[in-house]
Structure 1
Amino acid sequence: MIDFTYIEPQELCLKLKNTENKAKDIIIVDVREDDFIGGHIKGALHIPSYKLSSHILNLVEETKKAKEIIFYCSFSQQRGPAGARLFLVEQQKIHNIKGIQEKTIFPKVYVLRGGFVEWQKKYGNDEKLTDKYNKELWEKKFWI
Protein backbone atom coordinates (compact mmCIF):
# COMPACT_ATOMS: atom_id res chain seq x y z
CA MET A 1 0.00 0.00 0.00
CA ILE A 2 1.28 3.44 -0.89
CA ASP A 3 1.51 5.71 2.13
CA PHE A 4 1.50 9.46 2.55
CA THR A 5 4.52 11.68 3.09
CA TYR A 6 4.83 14.51 5.59
CA ILE A 7 5.31 17.99 4.18
CA GLU A 8 6.94 20.74 6.22
CA PRO A 9 5.08 24.05 6.63
CA GLN A 10 7.91 25.88 4.86
CA GLU A 11 7.67 23.58 1.84
CA LEU A 12 3.90 24.02 1.61
CA CYS A 13 4.36 27.78 1.89
CA LEU A 14 6.74 27.74 -1.09
CA LYS A 15 4.32 25.62 -3.12
CA LEU A 16 1.44 27.99 -2.39
CA LYS A 17 3.52 31.05 -3.26
CA ASN A 18 4.79 29.50 -6.50
CA THR A 19 2.75 31.16 -9.22
CA GLU A 20 3.32 28.22 -11.56
CA ASN A 21 1.11 26.07 -9.32
CA LYS A 22 -2.56 26.50 -10.13
CA ALA A 23 -5.22 26.31 -7.43
CA LYS A 24 -6.48 23.02 -8.85
CA ASP A 25 -2.96 21.47 -8.72
CA ILE A 26 -2.70 21.54 -4.93
CA ILE A 27 -5.75 20.62 -2.87
CA ILE A 28 -5.62 21.20 0.88
CA VAL A 29 -8.07 19.43 3.17
CA ASP A 30 -8.64 20.63 6.74
CA VAL A 31 -10.18 17.81 8.78
CA ARG A 32 -10.47 19.70 12.07
CA GLU A 33 -13.81 19.71 13.83
CA ASP A 34 -14.74 22.29 16.49
CA ASP A 35 -11.10 23.37 16.56
CA PHE A 36 -11.53 24.79 13.03
CA ILE A 37 -12.15 28.21 14.57
CA GLY A 38 -9.35 30.73 14.57
CA GLY A 39 -8.18 30.39 11.00
CA HIS A 40 -7.27 27.97 8.25
CA ILE A 41 -4.91 27.67 5.31
CA LYS A 42 -6.18 29.82 2.47
CA GLY A 43 -8.20 27.81 -0.02
CA ALA A 44 -8.45 24.71 2.17
CA LEU A 45 -11.53 22.52 1.93
CA HIS A 46 -13.08 22.01 5.35
CA ILE A 47 -14.29 18.44 5.76
CA PRO A 48 -14.47 17.55 9.47
CA SER A 49 -12.93 14.16 10.19
CA TYR A 50 -16.26 12.70 11.34
CA LYS A 51 -17.75 13.50 7.89
CA LEU A 52 -14.78 12.45 5.80
CA SER A 53 -15.79 8.81 5.27
CA SER A 54 -19.12 9.87 3.77
CA HIS A 55 -17.40 12.41 1.48
CA ILE A 56 -14.30 10.42 0.54
CA LEU A 57 -15.53 9.07 -2.81
CA ASN A 58 -16.47 12.56 -3.96
CA LEU A 59 -13.14 13.92 -2.72
CA VAL A 60 -11.18 11.28 -4.64
CA GLU A 61 -13.22 11.98 -7.77
CA GLU A 62 -12.96 15.78 -7.46
CA THR A 63 -9.20 15.72 -6.89
CA LYS A 64 -8.17 13.16 -9.50
CA LYS A 65 -6.63 15.86 -11.72
CA ALA A 66 -4.73 17.47 -8.85
CA LYS A 67 -1.00 16.93 -8.52
CA GLU A 68 -0.96 16.96 -4.72
CA ILE A 69 -3.42 16.71 -1.87
CA ILE A 70 -2.47 17.80 1.63
CA PHE A 71 -4.37 16.86 4.78
CA TYR A 72 -4.06 18.54 8.14
CA CYS A 73 -5.72 18.91 11.51
CA SER A 74 -4.54 20.77 14.61
CA PHE A 75 -1.34 18.79 15.18
CA SER A 76 -1.51 16.32 12.26
CA GLN A 77 -0.96 13.44 14.64
CA GLN A 78 -4.29 11.61 14.32
CA ARG A 79 -7.07 13.10 12.20
CA GLY A 80 -4.84 14.44 9.41
CA PRO A 81 -2.95 11.15 8.93
CA ALA A 82 -6.19 9.14 9.26
CA GLY A 83 -7.78 11.28 6.55
CA ALA A 84 -4.79 10.80 4.26
CA ARG A 85 -4.88 7.02 4.78
CA LEU A 86 -8.61 6.87 4.10
CA PHE A 87 -8.04 8.84 0.90
CA LEU A 88 -5.26 6.47 -0.17
CA VAL A 89 -7.42 3.39 0.51
CA GLU A 90 -10.20 4.80 -1.68
CA GLN A 91 -7.69 5.65 -4.42
CA GLN A 92 -6.42 2.08 -4.32
CA LYS A 93 -9.97 0.69 -4.55
CA ILE A 94 -10.59 2.78 -7.66
CA HIS A 95 -7.30 1.63 -9.16
CA ASN A 96 -8.18 -2.02 -8.45
CA ILE A 97 -11.63 -1.63 -10.02
CA LYS A 98 -10.22 -0.03 -13.17
CA GLY A 99 -7.42 -2.57 -13.30
CA ILE A 100 -4.48 -2.32 -15.62
CA GLN A 101 -6.61 -1.41 -18.64
CA GLU A 102 -6.54 2.24 -17.72
CA LYS A 103 -3.43 4.03 -16.51
CA THR A 104 -4.52 6.12 -13.58
CA ILE A 105 -2.31 8.81 -12.09
CA PHE A 106 -3.35 9.91 -8.64
CA PRO A 107 -2.21 12.97 -6.73
CA LYS A 108 0.66 12.62 -4.28
CA VAL A 109 -0.72 12.60 -0.74
CA TYR A 110 0.85 14.59 2.08
CA VAL A 111 0.13 15.41 5.71
CA LEU A 112 1.21 18.82 7.01
CA ARG A 113 3.81 18.24 9.72
CA GLY A 114 2.77 19.95 12.94
CA GLY A 115 -0.70 20.71 11.59
CA PHE A 116 -2.32 24.10 11.85
CA VAL A 117 -0.73 24.72 15.25
CA GLU A 118 2.70 24.93 13.61
CA TRP A 119 1.37 26.59 10.47
CA GLN A 120 -0.22 29.48 12.37
CA LYS A 121 2.99 30.15 14.32
CA LYS A 122 4.81 30.87 11.06
CA TYR A 123 2.11 32.03 8.66
CA GLY A 124 -0.96 32.95 10.70
CA ASN A 125 -0.55 36.66 10.08
CA ASP A 126 0.12 36.24 6.36
CA GLU A 127 -3.22 36.96 4.68
CA LYS A 128 -1.98 35.48 1.41
CA LEU A 129 -1.55 32.10 3.12
CA THR A 130 -4.03 32.06 6.02
CA ASP A 131 -7.74 32.99 6.15
CA LYS A 132 -9.70 34.23 9.15
CA TYR A 133 -6.73 34.05 11.52
CA ASN A 134 -7.52 35.03 15.10
CA LYS A 135 -4.20 35.64 16.84
CA GLU A 136 -5.75 36.26 20.25
CA LEU A 137 -7.50 32.90 20.18
CA TRP A 138 -4.24 31.10 19.39
CA GLU A 139 -2.37 33.01 22.10
CA LYS A 140 -4.91 31.63 24.60
CA LYS A 141 -4.05 28.10 23.40
CA PHE A 142 -7.73 27.25 23.11
CA TRP A 143 -6.97 23.74 21.82
CA ILE A 144 -5.42 22.59 25.11
Structure 2
Amino acid sequence: MASTQDGQPDAPWHAAYPDPKSDVVFISREEILALINDSAHVAGKDYILVDLRRNDYHGGTIQGSINLPAQSLWPLIPTYYQLFKAAGVRKVIFYCGSSGGRGCRSGGWFGDYLTRQNDSNMQSLVLQGGIKGWTTAGKEYTDKMHEYNAAAWA
Protein backbone atom coordinates (compact mmCIF):
# COMPACT_ATOMS: atom_id res chain seq x y z
CA MET A 1 0.00 0.00 0.00
CA ALA A 2 1.35 3.45 -0.89
CA SER A 3 1.84 6.17 1.71
CA THR A 4 1.11 9.84 1.76
CA GLN A 5 3.85 12.46 2.37
CA ASP A 6 3.21 12.36 6.13
CA GLY A 7 3.80 8.60 6.18
CA GLN A 8 0.13 7.65 6.62
CA PRO A 9 -1.08 4.83 4.38
CA ASP A 10 -3.28 5.81 1.46
CA ALA A 11 -6.87 4.69 1.72
CA PRO A 12 -7.77 1.76 -0.53
CA TRP A 13 -9.34 2.72 -3.87
CA HIS A 14 -12.79 1.52 -2.80
CA ALA A 15 -12.89 3.69 0.36
CA ALA A 16 -14.30 6.55 -1.74
CA TYR A 17 -17.45 4.53 -2.41
CA PRO A 18 -20.17 3.15 -0.11
CA ASP A 19 -20.02 -0.40 1.17
CA PRO A 20 -22.43 -2.65 -0.74
CA LYS A 21 -25.66 -3.52 1.05
CA SER A 22 -26.70 -6.46 -1.13
CA ASP A 23 -25.73 -9.98 -0.17
CA VAL A 24 -23.24 -11.52 -2.57
CA VAL A 25 -24.73 -14.29 -4.68
CA PHE A 26 -22.10 -16.70 -5.93
CA ILE A 27 -22.24 -18.78 -9.09
CA SER A 28 -20.03 -21.84 -9.47
CA ARG A 29 -17.53 -22.31 -12.26
CA GLU A 30 -19.47 -25.46 -13.21
CA GLU A 31 -22.60 -23.35 -13.81
CA ILE A 32 -20.64 -20.86 -15.90
CA LEU A 33 -18.99 -23.61 -17.92
CA ALA A 34 -22.45 -25.02 -18.60
CA LEU A 35 -23.62 -21.57 -19.82
CA ILE A 36 -20.61 -21.26 -22.12
CA ASN A 37 -21.10 -24.78 -23.50
CA ASP A 38 -24.87 -24.41 -24.01
CA SER A 39 -25.49 -22.96 -27.48
CA ALA A 40 -28.92 -21.78 -26.28
CA HIS A 41 -27.15 -19.19 -24.09
CA VAL A 42 -25.16 -16.41 -25.73
CA ALA A 43 -22.44 -14.42 -23.96
CA GLY A 44 -23.21 -10.72 -24.18
CA LYS A 45 -26.91 -11.39 -24.56
CA ASP A 46 -28.17 -13.87 -21.97
CA TYR A 47 -25.24 -13.34 -19.63
CA ILE A 48 -22.13 -11.24 -19.41
CA LEU A 49 -18.86 -12.08 -17.69
CA VAL A 50 -17.11 -9.04 -16.23
CA ASP A 51 -13.38 -9.41 -15.54
CA LEU A 52 -12.58 -6.79 -12.90
CA ARG A 53 -8.79 -7.12 -12.96
CA ARG A 54 -6.60 -4.13 -13.79
CA ASN A 55 -2.98 -4.35 -12.61
CA ASP A 56 -3.17 -8.14 -12.35
CA TYR A 57 -4.82 -8.63 -15.75
CA HIS A 58 -2.61 -11.33 -17.20
CA GLY A 59 -2.66 -15.02 -18.05
CA GLY A 60 -5.87 -14.93 -20.06
CA THR A 61 -9.54 -14.28 -19.45
CA ILE A 62 -12.67 -16.43 -19.57
CA GLN A 63 -14.20 -16.70 -23.03
CA GLY A 64 -16.83 -14.03 -23.62
CA SER A 65 -15.61 -11.71 -20.83
CA ILE A 66 -15.31 -7.96 -20.98
CA ASN A 67 -12.66 -6.16 -18.91
CA LEU A 68 -14.09 -3.45 -16.68
CA PRO A 69 -11.54 -2.78 -13.93
CA ALA A 70 -13.19 -2.59 -10.51
CA GLN A 71 -11.48 0.73 -9.79
CA SER A 72 -13.58 2.43 -12.49
CA LEU A 73 -16.85 0.52 -12.02
CA TRP A 74 -18.75 2.48 -9.36
CA PRO A 75 -19.42 5.76 -11.27
CA LEU A 76 -20.32 3.86 -14.46
CA ILE A 77 -22.80 1.35 -13.02
CA PRO A 78 -25.87 3.23 -14.39
CA THR A 79 -24.36 3.24 -17.88
CA TYR A 80 -23.42 -0.45 -17.75
CA TYR A 81 -26.87 -1.29 -16.42
CA GLN A 82 -28.53 0.51 -19.35
CA LEU A 83 -26.29 -1.28 -21.85
CA PHE A 84 -26.90 -4.70 -20.26
CA LYS A 85 -30.65 -4.03 -20.01
CA ALA A 86 -30.89 -2.96 -23.66
CA ALA A 87 -29.06 -6.15 -24.70
CA GLY A 88 -31.43 -8.33 -22.67
CA VAL A 89 -28.72 -9.61 -20.32
CA ARG A 90 -30.19 -11.62 -17.45
CA LYS A 91 -27.02 -12.54 -15.53
CA VAL A 92 -24.12 -10.17 -14.86
CA ILE A 93 -21.25 -12.29 -13.54
CA PHE A 94 -18.31 -10.51 -11.90
CA TYR A 95 -14.90 -11.97 -11.17
CA CYS A 96 -11.38 -10.94 -10.23
CA GLY A 97 -8.39 -12.93 -9.05
CA SER A 98 -10.12 -14.83 -6.28
CA SER A 99 -13.50 -13.03 -6.21
CA GLY A 100 -13.02 -12.25 -2.55
CA GLY A 101 -12.56 -8.47 -2.72
CA ARG A 102 -13.23 -6.71 -6.00
CA GLY A 103 -15.65 -9.41 -7.18
CA CYS A 104 -17.80 -9.31 -4.05
CA ARG A 105 -17.70 -5.53 -3.80
CA SER A 106 -18.65 -5.03 -7.47
CA GLY A 107 -21.32 -7.73 -7.38
CA GLY A 108 -22.78 -6.07 -4.29
CA TRP A 109 -22.74 -2.61 -5.84
CA PHE A 110 -24.44 -3.85 -8.98
CA GLY A 111 -26.96 -5.79 -6.86
CA ASP A 112 -27.69 -2.59 -4.93
CA TYR A 113 -28.32 -0.78 -8.21
CA LEU A 114 -30.67 -3.54 -9.40
CA THR A 115 -32.61 -3.19 -6.14
CA ARG A 116 -32.91 0.58 -6.58
CA GLN A 117 -34.17 0.00 -10.14
CA ASN A 118 -36.71 -2.60 -8.93
CA ASP A 119 -35.21 -4.96 -11.52
CA SER A 120 -35.90 -8.58 -10.63
CA ASN A 121 -35.17 -9.80 -14.17
CA MET A 122 -31.40 -9.26 -13.98
CA GLN A 123 -29.08 -10.94 -11.49
CA SER A 124 -25.76 -9.76 -10.10
CA LEU A 125 -23.54 -12.80 -9.52
CA VAL A 126 -19.93 -13.43 -8.49
CA LEU A 127 -17.80 -16.32 -9.78
CA GLN A 128 -16.89 -18.39 -6.75
CA GLY A 129 -13.10 -18.77 -6.57
CA GLY A 130 -12.47 -16.18 -9.27
CA ILE A 131 -10.18 -16.64 -12.26
CA LYS A 132 -7.62 -18.44 -10.07
CA GLY A 133 -10.20 -21.11 -9.24
CA TRP A 134 -11.14 -21.33 -12.91
CA THR A 135 -7.57 -21.86 -14.09
CA THR A 136 -6.85 -24.60 -11.53
CA ALA A 137 -10.02 -26.59 -12.30
CA GLY A 138 -8.59 -28.38 -15.34
CA LYS A 139 -8.31 -28.34 -19.11
CA GLU A 140 -12.04 -28.13 -19.74
CA TYR A 141 -11.90 -24.71 -18.04
CA THR A 142 -8.65 -23.38 -19.48
CA ASP A 143 -9.85 -24.40 -22.95
CA LYS A 144 -12.61 -21.82 -22.46
CA MET A 145 -10.16 -18.96 -22.00
CA HIS A 146 -8.82 -16.39 -24.42
CA GLU A 147 -5.03 -16.01 -24.43
CA TYR A 148 -4.54 -18.59 -21.68
CA ASN A 149 -0.92 -18.62 -20.53
CA ALA A 150 -0.17 -21.48 -18.13
CA ALA A 151 3.13 -19.89 -17.04
CA ALA A 152 1.26 -16.89 -15.66
CA TRP A 153 -0.65 -19.16 -13.29
CA ALA A 154 2.30 -21.32 -12.15
Same fold (TM over 0.5): yes
Unpaired segments ≥5 residues, structure 2:
1-20
1:31-81 residue CA offsets vs partner (Å, 9 max, x unmatched)? 112111111111111111110012211111111221211110000001001
Tell me the SS of whatever aligns to 2:124.
Answer: strand
Contact preservation (8 Å) 1:3, 1:85: yes
Work out the CA distance in 2 between the residues paired with 1:71 and 1:78.
Answer: 11
Tell me the SS of whatever aligns to 2:136.
Answer: helix
Amino acid at match of 1:114: G
What residue is the counterpart of 1:109 in the other structure?
Answer: 124
Tell me the SS of whatever aligns to 1:35.
Answer: coil
How many residue pairs get aligned? The number is 128
Q: 2:100 aligns with which of 66, 77, 91?
A: 77
Work out the CA distance in 2 between the residues paired with 1:132 and 1:32.
Answer: 15
Unpaired segments ≥5 residues, structure 1:
96-103, 140-144
CA deviation after TM superposition for structure 1 residue 2, in Å: 5.4
Task: Establish whether residue 66 from structure 1 lines up as the match of residue 89 from structure 2.
Answer: yes
What residue is the counterpart of 2:71 in the other structure?
Answer: 50
Higher share of residues assigned helix: 1
CA RMSD of aligned residues (A): 1.5
TM-score, normalised to structure 1's length? 0.82
What residue is the counterpart of 2:32 in the other structure?
Answer: 12
Identity %: 29
Structure 1 segments of 4+ aligned residues over 6 angstroms from their partners:
none
Which of 1 and 2 has higher RCO (CA within 8 Å, sep 6+)?
1
Contact preservation (8 Å) 1:69, 1:108: yes
Amino acid at match of 1:22: V
Contact preservation (8 Å) 1:91, 1:106: no
Tell me the SS of whatever aligns to 1:36.
Answer: coil
TM-score, normalised to structure 2's length? 0.77
What residue is the counterpart of 1:98 in the other structure?
Answer: none
Computing the radius of gyration from Cα coordinates, the structure with the larger value is: 2
Amino acid at match of 1:59: Y
CA deviation after TM superposition for structure 1 residue 105, in Å: 4.0
